Amino acid sequence: MRSWPVPVDVHAPITRLKGVGPSLQVTLAKLGIFRLIDMMLHLPLRYQDRSTVTPLAHIRAGEEYLVQAKVVSCQVVFGKRRSLKVGIEDPSGRAHLRFFHFSKYQQDNLAKQPYIRLFGEFKFFGRELTCAHPEYEVFPEPPAPPVPVLTPVYPSTQGLSQARVRKLAATTCALEWPSETGTPFQALRQLHQPPANLPPADLEALQEQVALEELTAYYLVMKGRALQRQADHARALPRSAGLGRTLLQNLGFQLTQAQARVVKEVLTDLEKSVPMLRLVQGDVGSGKTVIAAFAAIRAAEQRCQTALMAPTELLAEQHFANFSNWLQPLGLEVVLLTGQLPAAQQRSRLAAVANGDAHVVIGTHALFQEKVVFKQLALSIIDEQHRFGVYQRMALKDKAEETLVPHQLVMTATPIPRTLTMALYADMDVSVIDELPKGRQPITTHALPENKRPQMVQAIAKVLNQGSQAYWVCTLIEESEELAATAAIPMAQQLQQALPDFRVALLHGRMKSEEKLATMQAFKAGEIDLLVATTVIEVGVDVPTATHMVIENAERLGLAQLHQLRGRVGRGEQASHCYLLHNNSVGEAGQVRIDAMCASQDGFYLAEQDLKLRGPGDILGSRQAGEQSFRIADLGLHAHLMPRVIQRGDELLTALPGTAPADERDNLLATWAPADTGHLTV
Ligand code: ADP
Ligand code: MG
């Protein structure tokens, strides 16, 4: 009897894999690995060449080697720290291994087995060439020559050794993968287990092949949305009561020409019964919020509701304040929905949304949960869209109100080079606000080493004395609000001590919503002089009277983030200054970024520099962390693939006329989207 291999279900939970129990499942979840496909897409960061054995005599300190040797001694030594010292020898020379943590089993095993194969970095310990904590295997006889493969080094997390991840990846690769699912399994397998003689260029080509598939999937999903949109219907929102004109008169400033043009583009879209899907791109401070307000007013005039989604609670709260200011005088009701409301308030606000009393509903992505029921949703606005991640965007579903879908307006400050726009926003029309409001003063940017912090504090004291307000931003390398908060808290205390005559306050993401809101309002009202904050203030915070900003650890931040942060000042008519405090020794790339920041305030220029800086580097190594990135593709490395993505994508679309775009979209999403993307329904 013959049995056929049955392909695995690529979406099966990772526990399907041999050896993955509940505790390993929890650890893997931290890496975003929930399903078999996630493990397959968990690609190495880089590779180590462990295919050649290096004689001990050829070893140089500071590098990693594969060594095969005889174990000649094994003893516990008591120096500064107790350790296990192992002497090894091959025909060419001698060296030592050291283990500062070791088990009895390990000790016995090393003493008993005469041969060892190890991999690790060697250093001088006094005069002895020593490898601390190598990866190793012991053998009763001289081991066979190593198998010629490049050993992958994977992104990992606490409690998960490289050896373990490697084993899991190997087991995953050995499964019977289906042949036609839109995922390049062959290429993925080779990226996990490349032959040692594979030239680096071929590795790059393999990576490109996978990136091309991913980008094409993304393009198809977006194109599918665009096609579907043409066939969908939205509520046409023609002009009627002229409330927009009243807002224009009440604003207190004149729209820039660019703003006026974009408002017109948006309102023209809204008049049609084809659903709008428009991206408004404009640098920090170019005035995107007010565009959203005009659109919301148009919907309200037609007794329809608008949902406005912001990436952070802080920004949602600020939008709530602005929209209330602008819309309440027009007799419109604005409601804020955040995660942390008391139950009774939450209920009454949800009721206002459901019965149609609320014209504009503002919130974070909590807004798009099932339980929020709208009476007549005609417009969805997503602010700072880049914060939501490409896969969250792919997963957006148009929640049809009966047969009508909402118009969508998407706003972003991320300047995207033209070539990318076409592919990344294949589903959208694009409006650009290419002008800042009049009277904006340029922001002067200065770089200072950390040891000048005392002088920095004095300079800020002087500024505050003149009645200005300032931010002091504490940043850390990790995107961890928790850690950043622990840095900000003592910093706020120190600064308050150093500046006893001024009101110093603290703002970080771990604070309760009401506290955050109260602090922000007090800062806006001028009741706080210096706001010590984490990067929670990065998006959207708008306090025009704040004119100075100090950014800690500036050398560690990317240009895009520095530019966003700096955009919090320079919003009023006073000259503004930004100080980049950096480590006394800045790496080369850090220096280039700091120089670029000091030289330019142009978001497009800085974005270009950013792409250049992130050039090839390690194979796969420059892949960015964070949810806004693709899983494999890196826009810094793969922008040149875009024309091919578009061409292939369009070919595939014409070849698949029978497939319902929505089904196709679901298939592609199921394969590529991380399992924890969540489905946002807009
Ligand atoms: P962003 O594009 O970064 O979202 P905002 O919408 O927050 O910018 O606007 C930044 C600041 O500029 C706000 O205080 C806003 O009220 C103000 N503003 C917007 N448009 C104009 C304008 N045409 N003239 C003067 N100030 C403006
Ligand atoms: Mg904004």
- Boundaries of every domain in the chain: 68-146, 243-433, 443-615
- The yes-or-no verdict on residue 226 having pLDDT over 70 is yes
pLDDT score for 484: 61
pLDDT at 1 over 60: no
Q: Whose CA is nearest to atom 15 of ligand 1?
A: 287
- Please state, rounded to an integer, the average pLDDT across all residues of the chain: 85
Q: Assign 519 a pLDDT band (cuts: 50, 70, 90).
A: very high
Nearest to 138 by CA among 104, 162, 113, 163: 113
| Band of pLDDT at residue 662, cut at 50, 70 and 90 | low
- Residue appearing with tokens 């029921």: 373
pLDDT, tens only, 241-252: 789 999 999 999
**Which among 133-137, 502-506, 655-659 has the top mean pLDDT?**
502-506
pLDDT of residue 7: 78
Architecture of domain 243-433: 3-Layer(aba) Sandwich (3.40)
Atom of ligand 1 lying closest to residue 439 CA: 25
- Indicate which residue's Cα is closest to atom 26 of ligand 1: 437
Checking if the pLDDT of 480 tops 70, the result is: no
DSSP character string of 184-195: -HHHHHHHHS-B
Res 314: pLDDT = 80
- What is the spatial distance between Cα 676 and Cα 598, in angstroms, rounded to a whole number? 39
What single string gives the DSSP state of each residue in 332-384?
--EEEE-TT--HHHHHHHHHHHHTT--SEEEESGGGGSTT---SSEEEEEESS
Q: Is residue 485 scored above 80 in pLDDT?
A: no
Is residue 335 over pLDDT 90?
Answer: yes
Instruction: Give the mean model confidence (pLDDT) for residues 520-539.
Output: 89
Q: Specify the pairing of strand 93-99 against strand 82-90.
A: antiparallel
Q: Are 224 and 397 in contact (CB under 8 A)?
A: no
Residue 148 has pLDDT above 80, yes or no: no
Buried b (16+ CB within 10 A) or exposed e, 98-113: bbeebeeebbeebeee
What residue's CA is closest to ligand 1, atom 4? Answer: 288
At 3, the pLDDT band (50, 70, 90 cuts) reads low
Q: What is the pLDDT of residue 477?
A: 44
- Distance, CA 563 to ligand 2 centroid (Å)? 13
H-helix segments, 614-655: 635-638, 642-655
Res 201: pLDDT: 84
pLDDT classification of 390: cutoffs 50, 70, 90? low
Give the C-alpha distances (Å, rounded to integers) separating 383 from 201, 365, 420, 506, 647: 40, 11, 20, 25, 30
Q: Is it the case that residue 369 has pLDDT exceeding 80?
A: no
Question: Rounded mean pLDDT of 601-623?
Answer: 59
Matching fold, domains 68-146 and 443-615: no
The rounded Å distance from CA 383 to ligand 2 centre is 7
pLDDT tens track for 68-116: 999 999 999 998 889 999 999 999 999 999 999 899 999 999 999 999 9
Residue 387: pLDDT band by 50, 70, 90 thresholds? Answer: low
- CA end-to-end span of the chain, whole Å? 53
Crossing angle of helices 200-231 and 642-655, in 10° steps, is 50
CATH homologous superfamily for 443-615?
Answer: P-loop containing nucleotide triphosphate hydrolases (3.40.50.300)
Cα 677 from Cα 147, distance rounded (Å): 39
Task: Report the SS3 class of residue 437.
Answer: coil
> In angstroms, what is the span from residue 347 Cα to ligand 1's centroid?
33
* Cα-to-centroid distance, 412 and ligand 2 (Å): 8
Place of tokens 């329809």: 304
Q: What is the pLDDT of residue 625?
A: 33
Whether pLDDT at 133 is above 50: yes
pLDDT of res. 98: 94
pLDDT the model gives residue 621: 30
DSSP secondary structure, 110-174, as one string: HHH--EEEEEEEEEEETTEEEEES-EEEEESSPPPPPP-BEEEE----TT--HHHHHHHHHHHHT
- Residue 311 CA to ligand 2 centre (angstroms): 11
Contact at 8 Å (CB) between 400 and 662?
Answer: no
Which residue shows structure tokens 């084809």? 274
Which CATH entry fits the domain spanning 68-146: 3.40.605.10, 3.30.365.10, 3.40.50.2000, 2.40.50.140? 2.40.50.140
Residue predicted with more confidence, 561 or 139: 139
Give the pLDDT mean for 201-218: 89
Strand partners, 137: 117
Report the alpha-carbon distance of residue 133 to residue 141 in Å, rounded.
22
Dihedral in degrees, nearest 10, Cα atoms 46, 52, 53, 55: -100
Sheet containing strand 305-309, edge to edge, reads: 334-337, 360-363, 305-309, 377-382, 407-412, 277-282, 429-433
Flag whether pLDDT at 556 surpasses 60: yes
Which ligand is closest in space to the CA of residue 546?
Answer: 1
pLDDT at 398 over 70: no
Q: How far is the CA of 568 from the centre of ligand 1 (A)?
A: 11
> Would you place residue 392 in the very low, low, confident or very high pLDDT band (cuts 50, 70, 90)?
low
Measure the CA–CA gap between 542 and 528, rounded to whole angstroms: 15
| DSSP 8-state symbol, 401 | B
Mean pLDDT of 618-642: 60
CA dist., res. 677 & res. 394, Å (int)? 9
Do 315 and 383 form a contact (C-beta atoms < 8 A)? Answer: yes
> Do 63 and 131 meet the contact criterion of CB atoms below 8 Å apart?
no
- Candidate of 326, 537, 542, 563 to mutate for ligand 1, largest count of ligand atoms within 8 Å of Cβ: 542
Residue 95, C-beta contacts closer than 8 angstroms, at least 6 positions apart: 56, 59, 67, 69, 87, 88, 122, 128, 129, 130, 131
Which of 53-67, 119-133, 301-315, 356-370 shows the lowest mean pLDDT across its residues? 356-370
Pocket residues: Cβ below 6 A from ligand 1: 253-256, 259, 282, 284-290, 413, 437, 542, 544, 571
> Candidates 247, 250, 286, 289: which one to mutate for ligand 1, based on the most atoms within 8 Å of Cβ?
289
Of 432, 498, 81, the residue nearest 279 (C-alpha): 432
pLDDT of residue 623: 35
Residue 540 has pLDDT above 60, yes or no: yes
For a mutational test of ligand 1's pocket, the pick from 249, 253, 574, i.e. the residue with the most ligand atoms closer than 8 A to its C-beta, is 253
pTM: 0.72
Q: Which residues neighbour 438 within 8 Å (Cβ) at sequence distance 6 or greater?
A: 254, 256
Q: What pLDDT is stored for residue 620 in this prediction?
A: 32
State in Å: Cα 12 to ligand 1 middle: 48
Residue 199 or 58, more confident: 58
Are 550 and 463 within 8 A, CB to CB?
Answer: no
Q: Which pLDDT score, from 0 to 100, does residue 476 have?
A: 63
Both tokens of 420, joined, read 């990318």
| Ligand number, closest to the Cα atom of 259 | 1
Lowest mean pLDDT among 177-191, 486-500, 564-578: 177-191
